[in-house]
Structure 1
């Protein structure tokens, strides 16, 4: 079975408070985008995990795909598999690439072996692997809160808009990103702000990480400025960085503007 775990962006990201378990409560809209890895899962005599493309740090036993397999194998009986991941979505880039790989592993195993795992149980498995893994189970625009693992439906659609994602190659760890933020309650409900016209988001919809990370990594501010200069209706950093994105009303080719960066361009659905 071959699937294509896609990335997501954060549209707005408020860091509301630090939790007693060390995590933070957030408010954000997660929106799927087309930048994807490729994940192949086939029956095998014994379990194996392999990866190509972008180098994944750490031992394969700690990879989220491996953990997803082991978690389901502990509760269900099905054959061993060989998992082959072609990694294309940058790591530590605020795009949820690793979380998507894990969630798509759960969904693929469920489909491949007809395990009939309910949606709620798939969400529960995904939450055990990471805060934003569960989003990729349904993989549609959602308002996310608490650790980013609780969801509400949102009527937002950007279908037909053009998005450009720009990654300068910086790896910003979650710990580093959160160390610079000061949690605070939001003055205005993000869900209400996202009802504004796209052209009004620039002054209203914020990512709290930008305030501390832009001075530390000036290239991030430079990329955001360039996205606006080239006509973006809205531009922001995704997650805790380091990817910036611009949303455009019409198709743009910005390859020449970000020659030193990884870039993905395409339509939103």
Structure 2
């Protein structure tokens, strides 16, 4: 059993209000990108989890969390998982959430194909706010804490996405601490349904202001992306990965700051 967990970027992100459960209500566009990890599961006499590729820090493991959630609904044999990690962590690309969601899909497809996507999304929401998005992926509008999803229309066909990261770690708590929620603005969906050419002046990620104030080199990288012809550029999630959307494939982008990784993807 093998599949290929993808990543995502956020197309704008509004922090609306603090919730009584400690989370925040948000609204954001989420776009799945074909930059993937590799996840394999084998039936085994002994449960195990191993990794290769990028080193995964910490003790938490969302794939094993997904397995535990799935076992609440469906009996499955003992499994051995291996994850080849290629999506950088802690950069707002949702790689960990994707790994968990794709683990759920892998288990469903092998052991319980009768379980529909809506039920699988409910399982995913038990694991993390972004997990449910990756059950169907594509382009979706996310509300609530990120788990309330609906279709979104935007003309991004044949565009190129450039991802760039300077290796700066921005904790989610740090990012939220710098934001003042605001629910008085026009809906983000209204902005996202405008032509791509209109996004630059109206589509914002609320985390950018405070994160850029602390890490001005990220603001400079965003300027670099625009200087090389991007129609739209922004930070994804709580950072620190930046992205640019281009109508044609960009060549030889020169960065004013050192970068840890960059990648160009066609969508």
* TM-score category, normalised to shorter length: over 0.9
Tell me the SS of whatever aligns to 1:204.
coil
C-alpha distance in structure 1 between counterparts of 2:184 and 2:157, whole Å: 27
Moved more, 203-212 or 179-188: 179-188
C-alpha distance in structure 1 between counterparts of 2:138 and 2:246, whole Å: 20
TM-score between both structures, scaled by the size of structure 2 = 0.95
Q: How many residues align?
A: 266
Q: 1:91-111 CA distances to partner (integer Å, 9 max, x unpaired)? A: 111111100000000000111
TM-score between both structures, scaled by the size of structure 1 = 0.95
Q: Which residue of 2 aligns with 1:35?
A: 35
C-alpha distance in structure 1 between counterparts of 2:232 and 2:52, whole Å: 34
Q: Which residue of 2 aligns with 1:190?
A: 188
Q: Which residue of 2 aligns with 1:98?
A: 96
Shift of 1:254: 4.2
Shift of 1:186: 4.3
Q: Which residue of 2 aligns with 1:164?
A: 162
Q: Which residue of 2 aligns with 1:47?
A: 47
Q: 1:199 to 1:131 in 2, by over 3 A?
A: same
Shift of 1:261: 2.5
Say whether residues 1:16 and 2:33 are aligned partners: no
Q: 1:24 to 1:73 in 2, by over 3 A?
A: same
Which segments of 5 or more consecutive residues in structure 1 lack a partner in the other structure? Answer: none
Q: Which residue of 2 aligns with 1:208?
A: 206
Alignment of 1:53-92 (within 5 A): 53-59=53-59, 62-92=60-90
Tell me the SS of whatever aligns to 1:77.
coil
Contact 1:76–1:115 under 8 Å retained in 2: no
Tell me the SS of whatever aligns to 1:11.
strand
Shift of 1:169: 1.2
C-alpha distance in structure 2 between counterparts of 1:153 and 1:16, whole Å: 20
